[in-house]
Structure 1
């Protein structure tokens, strides 16, 4: 059965680097393939603590280059390829991950990839039994950032400034919408989503279920994400849950 495993649920610099919660992104198991999305700080260690062998990874996906989403990508790829002995793992990411002055992928690891592809808005990429669509390019602090749709079932709304265009471009009625809800309330000049933004997205797109994650420092300091998710469920009439470290969600 397809599922999501949240390695960590911290979002933004403060909660990530103060280790209020784990980071490390999340794992997807889709059509029997393992995908690691946004392997931030600690991802390599957390995989092993959960008895997951990185050599089982078929695909690594980065939504953007920010450190809380990408810090462990080189360690993950090195271990997934078993130091170059295995040749089956692909990397899908913005071009800025691979090239340019802000690139983060070590050049020698690029040679060990079985496949690579760059995201562009609207582009669909297929690898093995997995289909990933870069649904929309986000505005997010000058980083090339994309919302991603996996196998037409899971919509990952990564870090972004809310735009009404999201309600037009994003698919409706997906099985699960994962929303990086870093802020509780909107803050000027910070290009992250807040709870009100999540409510707008859920109300407008009506996924079957929604998951809030990637919580920032102020959010975790002053609010209980579980209680917030309950309120969002009441307002939207869509089952909404707050992710916690190690949480598993199965797709029906």
Structure 2
């Protein structure tokens, strides 16, 4: 089976996620003959079934950070992936804050009885599992929450929620096959630690991936902008082929 990227949901931020303007639930990757589910937010478990995907086919789950729009279904997805503990083969890549502390999102019995192996994400550290390489490229500034940009197999970069910083231009690799950018805002009208379309332009103009995919759209973007127009605008100004994701969109990698 060829490598694939499937967007389970594309809503971003609390307003569009919890008003259910679009689906949430993160995305699936097929890489190194493994199925990887990143950021299983609200509804992910249900949406997987609606899409005809069997959770027991999952091999790995990845969390970029613990905010509910990224992690709300983490325990349900792992429980279903292991068929209630009968198939204890799932592995989880996540920040330490997902496992420990008063704000942890992975339940203790899930850790103890369901997960085959845990990989703790830390800035600059790369992990390997059955030929899959996962690296936390950079720790983001994002509302006092441990959040990472994640590199898959050294060719696909997921730019999770973040305040734009110039050091991204040096921390992120250039010339990748794909960059997935959580572009929650069109432009910044007040201080909020999320990327805007204008931030995405800066990153893409400098890093020049072969393909950019914008996702995780906030309330204002979805209600007031045409996403096809945004994709054309970004592509014209950066020279990088750009797509705006929609719920259920599949991309061959």
Class of the TM-score when normalised by the shorter of the 2 chains? over 0.9
Residue 244 of structure 2 is aligned to residue 242 of structure 1 = yes
Q: Could you tell me how far apart the structure 1 residues matched to 2:131 and 2:22 are?
A: 32
Q: Could you tell me how far apart the structure 1 residues matched to 2:172 and 2:86 are?
A: 39
What residue number does 1:66 align with? Answer: 67
What residue number does 2:205 align with? Answer: 203
What residue number does 1:98 align with? Answer: 99
**Counterparts of 1:70-149 in structure 2 under 5 Å?**
70-111=71-112, 112-149=114-151
Question: Any gaps of 5 or more consecutive residues in structure 2?
Answer: none
Residue 157 of structure 2 is aligned to residue 155 of structure 1 = yes
1:187 to 186, 189, 192: 189
C-alpha deviation, 1:81, in angstroms: 0.8
Determine helix, strand or coil for the equivalent of 1:233.
helix
Question: Any gaps of 5 or more consecutive residues in structure 1?
Answer: none
C-alpha deviation, 1:186, in angstroms: 1.4
User: Which of 218-227 and 132-141 deviates more?
Assistant: 218-227
Q: Could you tell me how far apart the structure 1 residues matched to 2:48 and 2:78 are?
A: 13
CA RMSD of aligned residues (A): 0.6
Determine helix, strand or coil for the equivalent of 2:237.
helix
Q: Could you tell me how far apart the structure 1 residues matched to 2:55 and 2:5 are?
A: 16
What residue number does 1:173 align with? Answer: 175
Determine helix, strand or coil for the equivalent of 1:102.
coil
1:95-149 Cα deviation digits (max 9, x unpaired): 0000001001110110221110111100001112211000000000011000000
What residue number does 1:213 align with? Answer: 215
- TM-score, structure 2 as length reference: 0.98
Q: Could you tell me how far apart the structure 1 residues matched to 2:89 and 2:185 are?
A: 37
User: Which of 42-51 and 110-119 deviates more?
Assistant: 110-119
Q: Could you tell me how far apart the structure 2 residues matched to 1:245 and 1:141 are?
A: 26
Number of residues paired by the alignment? 251
Q: Could you tell me how far apart the structure 1 residues matched to 2:116 and 2:221 are?
A: 40
What residue number does 2:11 align with? Answer: 10
1:160-201 Cα deviation digits (max 9, x unpaired): 000000001100011000000000001332000001100001
Determine helix, strand or coil for the equivalent of 2:154.
coil
What residue number does 2:51 align with? Answer: 50
Determine helix, strand or coil for the equivalent of 2:173.
coil
Determine helix, strand or coil for the equivalent of 2:199.
helix
Determine helix, strand or coil for the equivalent of 2:149.
strand
Determine helix, strand or coil for the equivalent of 2:30.
strand
Determine helix, strand or coil for the equivalent of 1:181.
strand
What stretches of structure 1 move > 6 A for 4+ residues in a row? none
Determine helix, strand or coil for the equivalent of 2:59.
strand
